[in-house]
């Protein structure tokens, strides 16, 4: 299944049925009077969050969604039948915006949450409503109201507690493979990750959190370099960012501190809120350094970030230090009371087709 996290659609609610101008005409019953019924309600268009759906691929190709109109009223006091609503099932975490105004219509973050996208038109009134002592044979009736029509922009922001970011080949995919049962592609060339991956990190039988890995960023991503910043939206709902840094680059001339600053600057260009999220530094591939070089790299970041910065040295490939990172994350989430309940969000993550998700121990 192709991962699609954006779609543009049109929704058209149904028109209400017209009222009826009818009169009762039966043998041996004089002056029967008006008996025109009301028109039926037009169908509305709803969106419903469904944890069994992982992408917006269905809406990339099916762009127009139209509800039927209500039936016209009939004689003998018979109202027209209302039309059925159209229900669009979308992944949990879908943000729905009005394409023209940019207004946020709904942010569906829980399984079963519903949002009205287009209201069906009301049915018209039959002439039965217009009879009076002075108007015995009313011929007035009203037409049904038109249904709403909208152009919408759907945007999927996956639900995760922790987000990974870093340059290509920093070891993000290896890290998520090490701490969870997710199995993203890992290779020795850049941009092996082409779509977000989710993993559930189970600390013990009762505690777990969801972690998200996105394709690597490079300097100039805000201007479209590399894969651009199109996947950064998937970090918007996270509580904490882990900045994975390759502490043992093959090229000795690489300025890892400068690269770290450049990536953080890309966050600022994209979204100030994302830039202001708490970030921990994860120095990966520390097993490739001797004790002196490892201490030098750590001191470099401690001096830059100042006291109190959270810096961890790990080897994601050898699973060294990853356990300590996971326990520290769990403690942080509990201290900040940011633990996401084991509800639809976690279930949705576990079932993600792009993380091969099943709960896994680290």
Mean pLDDT, to the nearest integer, of 243-257? 82
Q: What are the backbone angles phi and psi of residue 337, rounded to the nearest 5°?
A: 55, 45
Task: Categorize the per-residue pLDDT at 216 as very low, low, confident or very high, splitting at 50, 70 and 90.
Answer: low
Domain ranges of the chain: 6-156, 162-361
Whose tokens are 């268009």? That residue is 45
Beta-bridge mates of residue 211: 162, 199
Task: Categorize the per-residue pLDDT at 361 as very low, low, confident or very high, splitting at 50, 70 and 90.
Answer: very low
Residue 34: partners with Cβ closer than 8 Å, 6 or more residues away: 21, 22, 23, 24, 126, 127, 128, 130, 131, 137, 138
Q: Quick check: 51 pLDDT over 50?
A: yes
Burial class (CB in 10 A: 0-12, 13-18, 19+), 132: exposed
Beta-bridge mates of residue 302: none
Task: Categorize the per-residue pLDDT at 33 as very low, low, confident or very high, splitting at 50, 70 and 90.
Answer: confident
Least confident of 219-233, 255-269, 312-326: 219-233
Cβ proximity of 73 and 80 under 8 Å? yes
pLDDT value of position 360: 36
Helix (H, G, I), strand (E, B) or coil at 57: helix
Mean pLDDT, to the nearest integer, of 240-251? 85
Residue 308 region by backbone torsions, left for phi larger than 0, else alpha for psi between -120 and 50, else beta: left
Identify the CA nearest to 65 among candidates 144, 4, 3, 154.
Answer: 154
Please say whether the structural domain 6-156 has been given the CATH code 1.10.760.10: no
Identify the CA nearest to 352 among candidates 235, 212, 217.
Answer: 212
Topology, domain 162-361: Rossmann fold (3.40.50)
Identify the CA nearest to 216 among candidates 201, 199, 200, 196.
Answer: 196
Cβ proximity of 64 and 86 under 8 Å? no
Taking the model in full, what pTM does it have? 0.72
Mean pLDDT, to the nearest integer, of 282-295? 89
Mean pLDDT, to the nearest integer, of 340-360? 43
Cβ proximity of 21 and 33 under 8 Å? no
Q: Would you mind telling me the total number of residues written for the chain in this entry?
A: 362
């Amino acid at each position: 299944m192709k991962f699609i996290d954006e779609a543009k659609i049109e929704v058209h609610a149904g028109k209400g049925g017209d009222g009826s101008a009818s009169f009762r005409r039966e043998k041996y019953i004089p002056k029967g009077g008006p008996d025109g019924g009301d028109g039926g309600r037009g169908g509305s268009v709803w969106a419903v969050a469904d944890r069994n759906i992982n992408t917006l691929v269905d809406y990339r190709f099916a762009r127009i969604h139209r509800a039927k109109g209500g039936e016209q009223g009939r004689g003998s006091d018979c109202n027209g039948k209302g039309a059925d609503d159209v229900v669009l099932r979308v992944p949990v975490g879908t943000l729905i915006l009005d394409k023209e105004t940019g207004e946020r219509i709904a942010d569906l973050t829980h399984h079963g949450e519903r949002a009205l996208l287009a209201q069906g038109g009301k049915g018209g009134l039959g002439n039965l409503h217009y009879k009076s002592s002075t108007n015995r044979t009313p011929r007035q009736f009203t037409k049904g109201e038109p249904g709403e029509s909208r152009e919408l922009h759907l945007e999927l922001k996956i639900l995760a507690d922790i987000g990974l970011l870093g340059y290509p080949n920093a070891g993000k995919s290896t890290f998520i493979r090490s701490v969870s049962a997710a199995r993203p592609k890992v290779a020795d060339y850049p941009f092996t990750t082409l779509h977000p991956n989710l993993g559930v990190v189970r600390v013990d039988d009762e505690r777990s959190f969801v972690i998200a890995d996105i394709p690597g960023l490079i300097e100039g991503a805000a201007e479209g370099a590399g894969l651009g910043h199109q996947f950064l939206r998937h970090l918007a709902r996270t509580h904490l960012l882990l900045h994975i840094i390759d502490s043992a680059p093959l090229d000795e001339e690489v300025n890892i501190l400068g690269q770290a600053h450049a990536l953080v600057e890309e966050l600022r260009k994209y979204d100030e809120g994302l830039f202001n999220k708490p970030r921990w530094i994860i120095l990966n591939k520390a097993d490739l350094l001797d004790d002196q070089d490892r201490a030098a790299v750590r001191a470099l970041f401690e001096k830059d970030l100042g006291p109190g910065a959270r810096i961890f040295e790990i080897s994601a490939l050898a699973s060294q230090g990853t356990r300590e990172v996971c326990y520290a994350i769990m403690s942080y989430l509990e201290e900040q009371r940011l633990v996401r309940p084991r509800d639809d969000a976690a279930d949705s993550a576990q079932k993600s087709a792009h993380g091969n998700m099943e709960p896994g121990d680290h």
